[in-house]
Amino acid sequence: MSINAPSDSNPQLSEASERLFAEFIAEYAIQDLGGRQILMDGLLAKDLADKADAALKRDGLVAPDKYGQLKPHPCIAAARDFRAQWLQALKALHLNVGDPPAMGRPEGS
């Protein structure tokens, strides 16, 4: 299967996530359909987290309820949950993203 196969595209993904999809496929050689689906679902969750963040930036962290009382904006929980799904997808793919934590005691102690 080619990296640029039409079946790899998802019209729901943002352009940035489509680029990330191609970069992850190339860098980590994700060839199996299950791995590609996990990555696709994770990127979709990342896009939704970004949309929730944009709504929070536009509306603020609080929103009035039906009685006019200020409550935490519903997108706070949505952004958190979608971001957790993105990180869980990375974990499920066993991808090494970022620097590994230091092992042992800190120097000088």
The beta strands (E) that lie in the chain are given as: 62-64, 70-72
In this predicted structure, what is the pLDDT of residue 14? 95
- 45-93 pLDDT, tens per residue? 999 999 999 999 999 999 999 999 999 999 999 999 999 999 999 999 9
The answer to whether residue 17 scores a pLDDT higher than 70 is yes
**CB atoms < 10 A from the CB of 44, how many?**
19
DSSP one-letter code for 32? S
- If pLDDT is split at 50, 70 and 90, which confidence band does 100 have? low
The answer to whether residue 97 scores a pLDDT higher than 80 is no
Which residues, including other chains, have CB under 8 Å from residue 71's CB and lie 6 or more apart?
62, 63, 64, 65
Q: What is the distance between the alpha carbons of residues 12 and 35, in angstroms, rounded to a whole number? A: 18
- Going from N- to C-terminal start, the domains of the chain cover 6-92
Q: What is the mean pLDDT of the chain?
A: 87
pTM: 0.77
